[in-house]
Amino acid sequence: MAKRYAVILAAGQGSRMKSKLYKVLHPVAGKPMVGHVAEQLEEMSLDKIVTIVGHGAEKVKDYLGQRVDYALQEEQLGTAHAVQQARSLLMGEEGTTVVVSGDTPLLTAESLNAAFGYHEKHQAKVTVLSAHVENSFGYGRVIRDEDGSLDRIIEEKDATDEERLIREINTGTYFFDNEALFNSLNKVENNNAQGEYYLPDVIEILKEEKERVEAYSIDDVSEALGVNDRKALSQAEMLMRERINEKHMTNGVTLINPQSTYIDSDVEIGKDTVIEPNVYLKGSTAIGEDCVIGINSVIIDSQIGNQSIIQSSTIDQSTLETEVTIGPNAHIRPNSTLKDQVHIGNFVEVKNSLLGKGTKSGHLTYIGDADVGEKVNFGCGTIVVNYDGHKKHRTTIGDNAFIGCNVNLISPLVLEPNTFIAAGSTITKDVPEDALALERAEEIHIQGYVSRQREKWEKGQ
């Protein structure tokens, strides 16, 4: 099989985005656009992927890392000039090179593979990836010969009235015979209003040399969307999320209202899980089977075990094992692990803590920097006081401990297994196993106080 290469064009500043963030790093469904492009190319097991960087080069490199090779376009002098920067990495190689923009996040490996096959089958020197659209205004039109092969690409401003009626457009993705590409790039001129070197000019050069040039039309026109401004970014976001939601539903996940369900591209969900409306699943989240993710929940970079139920809560960078129930209105903060059958109720916050199997905290409790055993019960209003104003401290609570309502546990602290903490206590000393800890001021009753106080009020005192 012939070798295959890719060049990702990611050097443009993207001024129309009007953003401090480099254009190809704008996220779509939780992942930078250039990440979507690189991911699809990686799926195809190409022999080499070269990313052309310019503005924001270091940030792009920081994101993509060692996944690709890089070439720097110091001055942005057009797309042909950009591809020229890959000369030292690809010049002399035999095979096919696809040139794709880093702002086309909806392109799929399936379409690219099909176009590779078409290009190689027809032994073309260049194949333009095209698409048929309802409104072709602003796009370069694909003009075909009588036999269906590519004649030329003509831009909107240069097209005749008849040519403007053509609905087949140039997507800006090209497949080249690699040797023909770099031989032709030397012949591209910049005699245009912008003084730039344009990659489509290679098509004309090859056509004049009597080489075979082709166009391959993709079935899904949405894949052709290039993102140059915030409007197009929102369109790409919507289309990508529709694609993601359809994938999960096909795989056995129930989405009550897909239009109000937001799932990032790397999220995994097990079958027979139900996702209610207004849910946002972000980052590298993985959700098991037979779960219910309730309305208005947000889950970020977390792992949720089978048969868990999340009600209107936020879970961030944490792990929930099986049959865990959360909420409503709970907050599981980073670095927390909740073992099997843990229950966290309404308005409970857990941070940087481990909660053992079967532990329960029903409502209005803060558990921070704690290692909690199995079957511990937290009463309403319990606070693990983990911060002394200078440093965080940890609390350890053994199995089967019972903590009454309105208790303050002043860290650092150890409650041994089977301890009982009386309601209203503030505990500052370690509690031994099987002990009751009680800390309250003596209750005093002052007889007649209310009547005497009322008399003072009535006299205006």
Most distant CA pair in the chain: distance in Å? Answer: 111
- Determine how many CB atoms are found less than 10 A away from the CB of residue 359: 25
Asked whether residue 251 is marked as a ligand-binding residue, the answer is no
C-alpha 305: how far from its chain's center? 20
Token digits of residue 242: 């529709």
Asked whether residue 377 is marked as a ligand-binding residue, the answer is yes
Distance CA 363, CA 351 (A): 15
C-alpha 199: how far from its chain's center? 32
Asked whether residue 38 is marked as a ligand-binding residue, the answer is no
Catalytic residue among 132, 363, 393, 445: 363
Asked whether residue 333 is marked as a ligand-binding residue, the answer is yes
- Determine how many CB atoms are found less than 10 A away from the CB of residue 267: 20
Confirm if 264 and 237 have CB atoms less than 8 A apart: no
Alpha-carbon torsion (27, 29, 31, 34), positive or negative:
negative
Count of alpha carbons within 13 angstroms of residue 306, beta-carbon side: 4
Query: Exposure of 28 by Cβ count < 10 A (0-12 exposed, 13-18 middle, 19+ buried)?
Result: buried
Helix axes 57-64, 33-43, angle to 10 degrees: 50
Per residue, what are the HEC states of 103-138?
A: CCCCCCHHHHHHHHHHHHHCCCCEEEEEEECCCCCC
Does residue 55 have an active-site annotation?
A: no
Asked whether residue 78 is marked as a ligand-binding residue, the answer is yes
Asked whether residue 271 is marked as a ligand-binding residue, the answer is no
Amino acid at 75: E
Token digits of residue 132: 């048929």
Helix (H) or strand (E) holding 348: strand 343-351
Q: Scanning the structure block, which residue is given the tokens 């990508």?
A: 240
Asked whether residue 101 is marked as a ligand-binding residue, the answer is yes
Confirm if 308 and 289 have CB atoms less than 8 A apart: no
Asked whether residue 192 is marked as a ligand-binding residue, the answer is no
Distance CA 325, CA 319 (A): 12
Asked whether residue 79 is marked as a ligand-binding residue, the answer is yes
Radius of gyration of the chain from its Cα atoms, rounded to whole angstroms: 32
Asked whether residue 386 is marked as a ligand-binding residue, the answer is yes
Distance CA 449, CA 461 (A): 15
Asked whether residue 280 is marked as a ligand-binding residue, the answer is no
Q: Identify any residues that bridge with 365 across adjacent strands, giving them in sequence order.
A: 348
Q: Identify any residues that bridge with 52 across adjacent strands, giving them in sequence order.
A: 9, 71
Catalytic residue IDs: 363
Point out the annotated binding site for UDP-N-acetyl-alpha-D-glucosamine.
9-12, 23, 73, 78-79, 101-103, 140, 155, 170, 228, 333, 351, 366, 377
Binding residues for acetyl-CoA, as ranges, are 386-387, 423, 440
